Structure 1
Amino acid sequence: MNIRRLTLLLAILLLAGTAHGKVVTQAISYTHGGVSLEGYLAYDDAVSGKAPGVLVVHEWWGLNDYARSRAEKLAHMGVVAFALDMYGKGKSTEHPDQAAAWMKAVNGNMDGWLKRAMAGLEVLKKQPMVDAGRLAAIGYCFGGATVQVLAYGGADIKGVVSFHGSLMPPTAEQAARTRAKILICHGAADPMNQPEAMSTYAAAMNASSIDWQMIAYGGTRHSFTNPDADKRDMAALAYSPSADRRSWQHMTFFFEELF
């Protein structure tokens, strides 16, 4: 069976035979900690009944068109996707120094980081077309680390997928709270996460009872899912069409299991 037919079969299994219509998108404003936030909802208007909900967490650049496109791509699969906002309404940038500053303002406080992600998850849960018993989260770069933090915080979700995210080994306390299954899609040549980090992560996860898996894509650097990675003029970043395609397929398999 070729990949296209296999992907179609998985989509049919995931959606239980629902038809495809038009993807509807909507900006949703919400607040957390006194900060005005604006996320991006995407869903297929032909899906009847309640559908699985997937939270999308952006890279350190902020909620930009790339994150929105991933939410739309998920909507084409028949899930309800919500790309949350971790920084504040309108905060996205092309400058690494600004991105780093915004990211550190969030991840410098673990409790605040978790609560900001939870705020986005609550928005997704409240959507009338979402089955709150079938939730997952995916994230890219900073967002990949964020969905791990969400899992370790005991969020009521089935699973999380980290794409080229920082590897976040859980403490024993965090591992005990984790209910979500975890899929790590990682670039084996990612200079931002050296082999030692992969070994440390694996050791911590193996010491826990978390259901986890890591798939490493050979010769693949950071930000491998983003076609704009090569435009950033950062040696650590490189788009990989094959790793992008394969990691999305691995996520699809994972969702078929979760949902």
Structure 2
Amino acid sequence: MDLEYFDGDQRCLGVLELPDPAKFPGPRPAVVAVHEAWGLGDQVRRRAKMLADLGYVALAADIFGDRYIPLDPPEAFKIIGDLAADAPKLRARVAAAVAALKAVPQCDGRIAAIGYCFGGRTVLELARSGNPDVRAVVSFHGALDTPAPAEKGKVMASVLVCHGAEDELVPHAHLNAFLDEMAAAEVDCQTIAYTGAKHAFTNPEAKGQLMSTIIFHERTDRRSWAAMQAFFADVGLG
């Protein structure tokens, strides 16, 4: 179902998926799922449904606002580039989704966030912001660089990064800098680098048609989803 919420004057239109109350009675932990550069489309909707099937209240967030879908890759890259360069704006936009999810009656107050590609960057910015409502974030093939690195003692969420070891869009220098950033800020962070995996390894529609490094990798998709579930159980979101 659609869930309308606002970031200031910006209307956002997410998609809410609820677990089967017969199978998962009572309030449940909740997860915000953040889309790739292409906007709130089939990939993140499918993930929200998968989360609901696991017993989570899931919101596929609308980061662009008004559920806007970019017309072409150049426009998509312009939108995400502008948001990536403005950490306060990006953090506020995803925080609005967290607040909207927290207000859903079926949510028990335990909230995590996951994201794909641009969404991975977004949930890492959410963690860096120190949002007190978020217990854990998971980035799947997300960008790791930031204009506003994490500060020691500020990050409350545990972090899991699922990274394609052969992702040419996220160079090893960014990975090394991210690991140094997390260590310096004393963040509870796990980072898994999957050999054989490039960018967008979770998306079956990614077949290298846009560029050779944007391609699905079934084994890593399966393993990273299992890693997410184990991570959630470990931090009290199982």
Q: Which amino acid aligns with 1:63?
A: L
Q: 2:42 aligns with which of 60, 65, 70?
A: 65
Match of 2:129 in 1: 153
Structure 1 stretch 85-94 or stretch 119-128: which is displaced more?
Answer: 85-94
Distance 2:91 2:188 in 1: 20
Distance 1:223 1:173 in 2: 25
Structure 1 residue 34 displacement after superposition: 1.9
Measured at CA, do residues 240 and 35 of structure 1 come closer, stay the same or move farther in structure 2, by a change above 3 Å? same
Runs of 4+ in 1 over 3 A off after TM superposition: 168-173
For the aligned residues, what is the CA RMSD? Answer: 1.6
Structure 1, unaligned stretches of length 5 or more? 1-25
Q: Which amino acid aligns with 1:44?
A: P
Q: 2:76 aligns with which of 92, 99, 102?
A: 99
Match of 1:5 in 2: none
Structure 1 residue 137 displacement after superposition: 0.4
Match of 1:56 in 2: 33
1:189-219 C-alpha deviation (Å, 9 max, x unpaired): 0001111221111122222211001001102
Kept in 1: contact 2:150–2:182 (CA 8 A)? no
Structure 2, unaligned stretches of length 5 or more? none
| Larger radius of gyration between Structure 1 and Structure 2 | 1
Structure 1 residue 98 displacement after superposition: 1.5
Distance 2:36 2:151 in 1: 23
Match of 2:59 in 1: 82
Q: 2:141 aligns with which of 145, 156, 164?
A: 164
Match of 2:20 in 1: 45
Distance 2:90 2:217 in 1: 29
Kept in 1: contact 2:40–2:62 (CA 8 A)? yes
Match of 1:21 in 2: none
Match of 1:19 in 2: none
Structure 1 residue 175 displacement after superposition: 3.6
Structure 1 residue 169 displacement after superposition: 6.0
Measured at CA, do residues 248 and 122 of structure 1 come closer, stay the same or move farther in structure 2, by a change above 3 Å? same
TM-score by length of 1: 0.85
1:237-256 equivalent positions in 2, closer than 5 A: 237-256=214-233
Structure 1 stretch 90-99 or stretch 195-204: which is displaced more?
Answer: 90-99
Q: Which amino acid aligns with 2:14?
A: G
1:147-226 equivalent positions in 2, closer than 5 A: 147-156=123-132, 157-168=134-145, 174-226=151-203
1:69-89 C-alpha deviation (Å, 9 max, x unpaired): 000000000010001101022
Measured at CA, do residues 89 and 232 of structure 1 come closer, stay the same or move farther in structure 2, by a change above 3 Å? farther
1:29 matched to 2:40 = no
Q: Which amino acid aligns with 1:36?
A: R
TM-score by length of 2: 0.93
